[in-house]
């Protein structure tokens, strides 16, 4: 975990430094709104592009089975990439938020490309988590953020509009995918051949990921897209861009620990047989992650706005207030999401799907109702924050409930 965190920390530090330069000298909140909306749309499809079968790669005991599942994942990713392109065009006919992208036909082609690259990285991360190549994963993350941020800076110097932010990010995704692909291919000891029947057996074995985990991830990513889309729709690109920037700054900070921790946590609990082990491990990390989350949220509350304005400039006035509000619910989310793989271990994908649908309704309702009654961007953001705290707090309690109902595999 420390290996992953070290690599992620370096990678995210590069992203933060470049993001500060980009916002200070090249891009305003109005540019960040469509940029983040683009990638939130991509995330909706990338998150389910392999139908979450990549999680099964970590669980497979035999290498041939894991490789066969990996190949199935890539076929699914390619199909989902094409579907995302079609859905994008349909959505853009009913909503004008992507008008600037639609105006450039070449930019629309980046939608399926981004979905394919992001989905591929998820599969490769699962594979190299399985073989515990954590050093490679750290190096790849650094490469992705270095090349991506470097490309965005170059686009800024060339005075490219928000397209430059999108293109830069995709360049980083492409470089990381290429490195992973080379390492994965070089690890082949022999050619892999599987029949359609074997592939069907594999898919059937991991059908819960398709039926329950995949829709749950779709709903989760849809919520992030909905958050940004509604704030842009109701309060404009200026406020939406600041929400997007806040989400990115806080998300980068969380990712330093969360993404690295969750991968190792899943690998660890996959071998546990008893609910006593699961409860003990879950509680152990819940307390420690909770301390980190509370500390981070408290520190943000004491940052003076003058510091933010000195770093980013007057055009980002109001960004800190948004970050301070969002940091509260994101602190709770950090803890819950870092430990969320516990539900896969417990085999509760079906229950979590319904829980995530409840999450979507809760979030949409909190925004729509607050806007209807108050017409205030900050009040609506507070309403959304309260809904998020309630949901993620409930998720933590739900994990304990499911652990208590877990049947020890060793005794079965």
Domain boundaries, the chain: 2-407
Measure the CA–CA gap between 235 and 231, rounded to whole angstroms: 6
Report helix, strand and coil shares of the chain as percent, to nearest 5.
85, 0, 15
Measure the CA–CA gap between 15 and 6, rounded to whole angstroms: 14
pTM for this prediction: 0.83
pLDDT at residue 206, rounded to an integer = 84
Burial 306-340 (b: 16+ CB within 10 A, else e): eebbeebeebbebbbebbbbbbbbbbbbbbbbbbb
Half-sphere exposure of 314 (CA within 13 A, CB side): 0
Measure the CA–CA gap between 142 and 288, rounded to whole angstroms: 26
Measure the CA–CA gap between 384 and 378, rounded to whole angstroms: 10
CB atoms inside a 10 Å sphere around CB 386? 15
CA distances from 34 to 164, 234, 236 (A): 12, 15, 11
Q: Write phi, then psi, for 326 (nearest 5 degrees).
A: -65, -30
Measure the CA–CA gap between 36 and 256, rounded to whole angstroms: 19
Half-sphere exposure of 50 (CA within 13 A, CB side): 24
Measure the CA–CA gap between 393 and 336, rounded to whole angstroms: 8
Measure the CA–CA gap between 329 and 322, rounded to whole angstroms: 12
pLDDT at residue 192, rounded to an integer = 66
pLDDT at residue 190, rounded to an integer = 64
Mean pLDDT by 10 residues, the chain (412 residues): 71 86 90 90 93 86 86 94 94 84 87 96 91 86 92 93 93 96 83 75 84 85 88 90 90 76 76 85 92 93 91 91 94 91 83 88 94 94 95 94 77 40
Contacts 24+ apart (CB under 8 A), 58-61: 58/126, 58/129, 58/130, 58/266, 58/267, 58/270, 59/206, 59/270, 60/130
Contacts 24+ apart (CB under 8 A), 358-362: 358/391, 359/219, 359/220, 359/223, 359/391, 360/219, 360/222, 360/223, 360/226, 362/387, 362/390, 362/391
pLDDT at residue 257, rounded to an integer = 74
Measure the CA–CA gap between 10 and 3, rounded to whole angstroms: 11
For residue 409, the 8-state DSSP code is: G
The answer to whether 212 and 352 are in contact (CB under 8 A) is: yes
The answer to whether 165 and 155 are in contact (CB under 8 A) is: yes
The answer to whether 166 and 110 are in contact (CB under 8 A) is: yes
């Amino acid at each position: 975990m420390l290996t992953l965190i070290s690599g992620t920390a370096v990678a995210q530090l590069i992203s933060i430094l470049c993001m500060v330069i980009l916002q200070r000298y090249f891009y305003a909140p109005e540019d960040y709104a469509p940029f983040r909306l683009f990638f939130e749309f991509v995330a909706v499809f990338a998150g389910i592009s392999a139908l979450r079968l990549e999680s099964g790669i970590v669980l497979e005991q035999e290498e041939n089975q894991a490789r066969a599942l990996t190949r199935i994942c890539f076929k699914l990713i390619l199909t989902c990439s094409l579907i995302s392109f079609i859905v994008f065009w349909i959505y853009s006919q009913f909503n004008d938020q992507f008008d600037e992208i639609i105006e450039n036909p070449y930019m629309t082609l980046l939608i399926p490309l981004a979905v394919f690259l992001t989905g591929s990285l998820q599969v490769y991360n699962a594979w190299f988590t399985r073989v515990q190549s954590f050093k490679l994963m750290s190096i790849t993350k650094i490469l992705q953020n270095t090349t991506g941020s470097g490309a965005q800076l170059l686009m800024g110097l060339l005075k490219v509009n928000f397209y430059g932010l999108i293109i830069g990010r995709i360049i980083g995704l492409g470089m990381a995918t290429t490195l992973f692909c080379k390492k994965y291919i070089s690890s082949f000891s022999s050619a892999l051949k599987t029949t359609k029947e074997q592939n069907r057996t594999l898919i059937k074995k991991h059908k819960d990921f398709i039926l329950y985990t995949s829709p749950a991830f779709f709903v989760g990513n849809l919520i992030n897209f909905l958050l940004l889309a509604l704030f842009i729709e109701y309060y404009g690109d200026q406020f939406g861009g600041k929400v997007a920037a806040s989400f990115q700054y806080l998300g980068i900070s969380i990712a330093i620990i969360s993404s690295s921790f969750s991968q190792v946590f899943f690998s660890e609990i996959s071998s546990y047989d008893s609910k006593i082990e699961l409860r003990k491990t879950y509680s152990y990390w819940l307390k420690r992650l909770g301390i980190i989350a509370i500390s981070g949220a408290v520190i943000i509350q004491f940052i003076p706005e003058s510091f933010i304005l000195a770093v980013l400039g007057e055009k980002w006035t109001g960004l800190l207030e948004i970050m301070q509000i969002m940091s509260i619910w994101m602190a709770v989310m950090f803890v819950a999401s870092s430990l969320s793989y516990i539900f896969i271990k417990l085999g509760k994908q079906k229950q979590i799907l319904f829980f995530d649908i409840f999450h979507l309704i809760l979030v949409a309702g909190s925004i729509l109702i607050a806007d209807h009654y108050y017409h205030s961007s900050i009040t609506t953001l507070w309403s959304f924050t309260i809904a998020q705290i309630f949901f993620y707090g409930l998720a933590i309690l739900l994990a304990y409930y499911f652990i208590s109902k877990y049947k020890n595999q060793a005794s079965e």
